Structure 1
Amino acid sequence: MNTRVVLGGIAGAIIIIAATVYVSRRTDHDSHAASGEVIEGVVQDGSGRRVLYWHDPMVQGQRFDRPGKSPFMDMQLVPKYAEEGSDTGVQISPALTQNLGIRTAAVERAEFGDRVSALGRIEADERRRYAMPARVEGYVERLFVRAVGDPVSKGEKVAEIYSPDVLSAQQEYLALMSASGLPNSESLVQAARRRLALFGMDEREIDAISKSRTAQARFGVYAPATGFVTDLNAREGAQIEAGANLLSIADLSQVWLIVEVPEAQSGHLRAGDDVTATLGNAPNREIKGKIDFIYPVLDPQTRTARVRIVVANDSGDLRPGMLATAHLDAMSRETLSVPSEAVIYTGERTIVIVRNDNSFRPVEVRIGAEARGRTEVLSGLEVGEQVVASGQFLIDSEASLSGVLARLSDDGTQNARMSARDEAAQVSAQPTDLISATGRVVSVDHEAGRVTLQHGPIPQLNWPEMTMAFRLADPQLAHSLGVGDVIRFSLRAKPEDGAYVIETATKEAQR
């Protein structure tokens, strides 16, 4: 009886252990991919992490569905795991992000305006020019200004004129004032007074003769504004005709700056826009003004539009004829922007690196104007996104090793860019696009025209010292190489059909 109980207990324990092992293996199979298992055509590595594909980290854009030796390098293929990020980004740990000094900035809205620079000249304000014509025939008895450029003040007497007509009108006016008993005498006196004013007599002189009851042989000509004499057509003793211009005055307390703006840029300007300008004789001095008028006709020869800018000149330092460079800010607009340091130019496209948690991805953008350290973004980003403003080239190199940028470059509809490392390799390889290096021949395949070399570091491609197979541009070159030879070879900077090509190879003396 005891024996049966013991045997039954042992059998039950075996059944429980077997069931436990089965369930454990079943659960492990469900949660972890077993080594050699194929998921969606890709062989797994048994680590429990989902393998998306196998690749050679030194050759961009090449994927394999199973592990093995790289056909390009003397190394094993490595897995690309699902949690390492998608094909459009690269994962970087927070600790590494801090060590690399990566700094991000938000995509924000900012105001931008097209800035136009144009050369112009200072001119007198045409609305502040004054002509002083003679209203009656007569003679210039006295002239108080002697030359063009003399300053005058408003109300200052500039000349005295003798005119028989004005003298006769004064006597008539005084006679009417003395007459009594005449009908409408007051209206006749006022009419005679108005006649004197029309002849050019100043109201103060008319009041003076009204009080003294004595006619004056000469009457004065007074400046209508403060300014400078720009034309002087009279001399003392000269006879003048009615309507002849005695002199002209320009008020320079406000001047015009006339600039010529190219046709393509003139459409962005509006009256009232602020303008800053620098003078040719004082480039460090800045003057301010506003656009007053944009002339409606273009110059048919230069295809430019004349723009009139009003500038205050209280100090009188601005003189007609001076040259100045005007900087015109066109109508401002609010648009998306990023720090200018975040923009990467490859020569083929413009890129920024966008951060999403610990994932970084390159995004192609279309940019516009640049001002005050920020660059206008016309498309490719949204407000609030975080872009890398410092350390983006380090991220770019990491993205290149993972093949992100190469895959993006192959698809014209996706955002992409060339890596800073590849760009540097191209620049350093100019103008022949070849990279020189040395290595030792490990093996030679005469039929395939390939050679395997153990070479030193190649900084242009960011390669460490390693053993790697190359294709020969001229397969006959393989017959001149032997195992153990130390050669100096020229390598094309870009792979062709997944393999790097040696253009030339020469043996070096053995040491």
Structure 2
Amino acid sequence: MRNNNQRRHLACLLSLILATGSQWSMQALALTDDSQHHQHPTSVTTQGEYYCPMHPQERSDKPGRCPICGMFLVKDEAAIPPQSPVSETAGATSTLQPKNQDAPSAAPHQHDHALHQPAAANPLKVQKIVSRADNDTGPGGTIKYVCPMHPQIVSDTPGNCPICGMNLEKVNVEMDSPQQAVQVNVSGQMQQALALKTAKTQRATLWHYVETVGEVGYDESQITHIHSRVNGWIEKLAVKSAGDEIKKGQLLYEIYSPDLVNAQDDYLLAQDTLQRSGNKARYQELLRKAGLRLQLLGMSKTQINQLAKTGKTQYRVPFYATNSGYVKKLDIRDGMYLQPATEILSMVSLDKVWVIADVFENEQRWLAKGQTAEISIPAMGIQGLQGKIDYIYPELDPMTRSLRVRVVLPNNGTRLRPNTLARVSLFGGADRQALVIPQEALIQTGKQNRVIVKTADNQFVARPVEVGMMSRGKAQIIKGLDDDEDVVISGQFLLDSEASLKGSLMRLSQPQEAHHAENHH
């Protein structure tokens, strides 16, 4: 009994201790949360809710401008402390009202402070015309103020960009003459960083030269079409398929034709009549006409002589090849019925071949019949075949806008196969003592050709040029450059863009200069 009472007392004491400890823990946790809640606004206030997008280290607790670049400070959403809905509703009016009252007075102070701060140096700018501290107009020039971030923002007076708030940079635009070349200044260090390279203009001999592609084809003058001159049936066909080689005198086919049989009988009858009449002139003419008829129907003189010698009619008349070549097309088989309109086969000789090359439309002006051509067949390992332009076709291909040129080549041993692609080099006349530059120095825009000329150690000018012939990496300059001038061959596109920007500023200044001149007069 006594032990049971002791156990009950211990259990009550343990329950009391546990309940008291949990209350102490909850109070300590609440005190910790209150401490963190009071510390958070202090850190936000210390760092500032507003920062510069270009210079994040510049922060402020009020709206304004960056003291380095002048850009508008933006609010840091991550730094805004969380608030309860009750406190936000209750303090909305009191929080916003002081800010609206302080903003007009703070903004002018920040604006004036930003205008007196020096702008950050930009190492990537190729052209630095004048410093921002210089407010005087250069000789023959006009001062313009441009936003570094938004070049389309141009002003006649100092100020800030309405888009980003940055300070406008001063640019001196020369206005000596509307036709004056736009000059770009680049320091030696920046030239080395941009890897600018130059080359001198020089006099050289340029050959009219075109490298194009062509295709090997049949010599169409060597194609032969074989037709039967009588109606009949093919009794035997000696040619089996297209592509077979045919030798001169080789049997092509045998035909049975009633017309040929009748013509042979008429010839034999005329021959017998002549012999019985004692070789009278009248019957001699009859025999001659009978033999001519056999020739016109396709029989050879050898076959006619054999017919006269044997006196026997041939019912299966053989026909032989009159020249050598290859079967190009075969349209008949054994037992077929033939008519004069039926093409038995076509054959072509490969002793000569044509190479048809396509030349661009703008290169046709100097092509002429008889000019030298060099043919290479990369697929067959054939190089340096020499030929001449045999024919220039009278019209351009309307789809490819190219002109076809024909070159005839001998084909000893049938090395060249039709329908094989070929590399064709055409050589024309020469332009001697032409002013040339490397072709990579040209800036071709479609409307105008320009080059960048180095006029001094640190000065470059964009100059329009008139281009003549271009051949093998060289371009002929007809107008715009002189001898021994330095043209930029690497990095010229960056300089051209800078010159175009400055030229735009010059065009913007011209109407205003004319307006001031009219008011003065």
Task: Provide the TM-score with structure 1 as the length reference.
Answer: 0.47
| TM-score where L is the length of structure 2 | 0.46
- Decide which structure has the larger Cα Rg and report it: 2
Which structure has greater strand proportion? 1
Structure with the largest fraction of helix: 2
